[in-house]
Structure 1
Amino acid sequence: MASNESPAHEEGLAPETSSPGPLTSNPHIDNIPAAALEAGDDTETDDGYSSGDAGSTTTSLSSSIRAHVWENGRRYNKFREGQYALPNDEGEQAREDMKHAMTLMLCNGALHFAPIGENPQNIIDLGTGTGIWALDMADKYPSALVEGIDLSPIQPLWVAPNTKFIVDDVEDSWTYPPNHFDLVHLRVLVAHIKDIPKLFEQSFKHIKPGGWLEIHDHENIPYCDDGSMPPDYAPKEMLLMVAEALASIGKDTTAILTADEKLLAAGFTNVTHRVFKLPVGPWPKGKPQKLLGLYWRTAIFDGLQGIAMGTFGRAKKWSPEEIEVYLVGVRKALMDPSIHTYWPYHIITAQKPLS
């Protein structure tokens, strides 16, 4: 990939950009000054759950729904078993919370970019995971009821009064009233959704006129601008196989690249698309970017086994031993300080028209 110089910009919120489409050159990068992109040295409440109403597919936290499935030493969701490829055990939860801290650093501390005002009333987090974003939003906006939906019941039981967690599938029909939410939030979810147009259409129906949908997601592939990534780079080869495995069950790991057009088709306007850069490892010169790179490399490293077990173990029928042998080379390449890669991180906001 040819190296392009990043345009000048101010710190803080990134400027609006058009939809990038599949990347054929360095994307418009907004979070790292051009000088820092050069390689440097590498030395561095009440129970918040809801059972929903009788007509809802929302599932109460009975003993069965709280159950989990163990595969190859990792724990996965029992509800809608097999629909989500990553585990939900303590190791994965710690990784998710670390990614939340990393994302806040990437976004200069901002929990969201959509201009929802000072007193929103209803916010929902789709695929809430550990619930950490929802809890932070409930603290920031005491006026709002913040709900988090996930297939796994791994969120805290004791939460603030304005927080609620629900075990449900966001791809099912929603039972909320129309024109209800000030903000619908998705983070690292679109690659796990089978019917993205339906999800956007449901979101549009249930967002208030003037309300917002916000998507945060990274591309699931490394890029390199300085030629240091070899053609046979093991992490890239692994991620291409992961994409193939997920495609076999109807998931598209490149879905973030076509989200803009699907949002417009669903009726949204004022679609803005920002692209940030997540370095893999402490190769950039700038100290904040070094720390960001350490965060992201650790998040990838710690997630390798979980994603491999959940994709290669299911789709390719590899044994745990085969997976562990394969991951040796992936881990070694990931930790190579001479290879300077990054993952593009996309933030999209879209508004429902007032009329």
Structure 2
Amino acid sequence: MASEVVQEPTSIPAPLAAAAEAEAPLMEVGTDNDNDSAFDPDDGAASDTTSLSSSVSKYRFENGRRYHGYKDGLYMQPNDEQQLSVQDLGHHMMLILLGDKLYTAPIVNKPQRILDVGTGTGIWAIDIADQHDSAQVVGTDLSPVQPEFVPPNCKFEIDDASSMWTFTPGSMDLVFMRFLLGSFTNWTEVYREAFKSLKPGGWLEHHEVAPDVHSEDGSVTSSSAFGRWGALVFEAGDKIGRTYRTAYNTKKWMEEVGFVNVVETKYRMPIGRWPADPKLKEIGMWFRAYFEDGMEGYAMALLTRVLEWDYIEAQAYFGQLRAAFKDKKTHGYCNLTIVYGQKPLDA
């Protein structure tokens, strides 16, 4: 289906509103009961960051979905209401996973500046601003889809994090990233920009889910709908030079850039309520919703733009995935990693 870039009034959706163990052992199958510059308002320094203007409210409409128009094509996921709801659902899922914690790095008690890269709906930035009223929080994104009414210590900017960052070097206490698969061609350069922006002793934290689906009982095979999902996403990402294997490399890349005290925690995210453990069952319910509601947005552009599928072929595959979500004999899970690292005090 042909795409076009048109201008539309800026949409400002309201945000909508597991604890799996690291390297979790075999998950017992139970009963399945379910059918988000050191910013200174007075800083006049030249910046690549743009204001909210008509240039950033021009959107690409393609296959029934809306994509960002600013730097069109740089990011492969939609920014429409459906996908924004998925982002907020993922935020709630992570709060359940982490016991209502927004981050895990041991940052200072009263951070002064926090940066949320790829903020999306801005829900993480808003929550962290409420939690740390001592901090100035800035969230950056390619799309102006954040709420208008936010805490006074929170603000949003349109910015491309794959370009050179313009924040004051050595100013941030925490740089946070979450669910940015396929966003960058060179993750070490992005981490290097984060390193430069952090204060000595500051922290970078990155949460990421890997797209490949696994099972411990053989219920997910390479030819199944779930088995093909990871292979197709990896293939498309490799074709455009944007790896979707980020979750498996974050720790290594942080260390290569110079971060120290790097800690990696791994989780298995069950797809559905099949685990016997009540906590995993709850996490699986949320992760299934996050996966199922978001799969078309995550993959449509990869399948049609990159792998050159037609729209009908892509929808047929999504239908196979929906059937897999409902199959109680399939006990799939995805890997999620949380990695944080510290800029050395003598840097």
Q: Same fold (TM over 0.5)?
A: yes
Amino acid aligned to 2:112: Q
Equivalent position SS for 2:67: strand
- What corresponds to 1:68 in structure 2? 59
- What corresponds to 1:43 in structure 2? 33
Provide, for residues 60-99 of structure 1, a one-character-per-residue CA deviation record: whole Å limited to 9, x for no partner.
1111212221101000011111111111100111111011
- What corresponds to 1:197 in structure 2? 188
Give the whole-Å Cα distance in 1 for the aligned partners of 2:323 and 2:266. 28
Q: CA deviation at 1:55?
A: 2.3
Q: CA deviation at 1:13?
A: 10
Could you tell which deviates more after superposition, 98-107 or 231-240?
231-240
Equivalent position SS for 2:212: coil
Provide, for residues 130-149 of structure 1, a one-character-per-residue CA deviation record: whole Å limited to 9, x for no partner.
01000000000000011101
2:153 matched to 1:162? yes
2:272 matched to 1:295? no
Q: CA deviation at 1:54?
A: 6.1
- What corresponds to 2:248 in structure 1? 257
Which structure 2 residues correspond to residues 1-355 of structure 1 after superposition, within 5 A? Answer: 28-29=23-24, 37-44=27-34, 53=44, 55-355=46-346
When the two chains are superposed, the root-mean-square deviation of aligned CA atoms in Å is: 2.2
Give the whole-Å Cα distance in 1 for the aligned partners of 2:183 and 2:63. 21
Could you tell which deviates more after superposition, 324-333 or 211-220?
324-333
Equivalent position SS for 1:64: helix
Q: CA deviation at 1:308?
A: 2.9
- TM-score of the pair, normalised by structure 1: 0.87
Amino acid aligned to 2:29: A
Q: CA deviation at 1:237?
A: 0.5
Give the whole-Å Cα distance in 2 for the aligned partners of 1:112 and 1:317. 38
Q: CA deviation at 1:210?
A: 0.6
Contact 1:121 1:145 in 2 (8 A): yes
Provide, for residues 285-306 of structure 1, a one-character-per-residue CA deviation record: whole Å limited to 9, x for no partner.
1222212111111111112222
Alignment CA distance shift 1:303-1:51 (3 Å):
farther
Q: CA deviation at 1:242?
A: 1.9
Give the whole-Å Cα distance in 1 for the aligned partners of 2:144 and 2:44. 18
- Aligned pair count reads 325
Contact 1:51 1:60 in 2 (8 A): no
Contact 1:52 1:60 in 2 (8 A): no
Structure 1: which 5+ runs fail to align?
A: 1-10, 16-27
- TM-score of the pair, normalised by structure 2: 0.88
Contact 1:190 1:196 in 2 (8 A): no
Give the whole-Å Cα distance in 2 for the aligned partners of 1:73 and 1:283. 33
Give the whole-Å Cα distance in 2 for the aligned partners of 1:100 and 1:147. 17
Amino acid aligned to 1:178: P
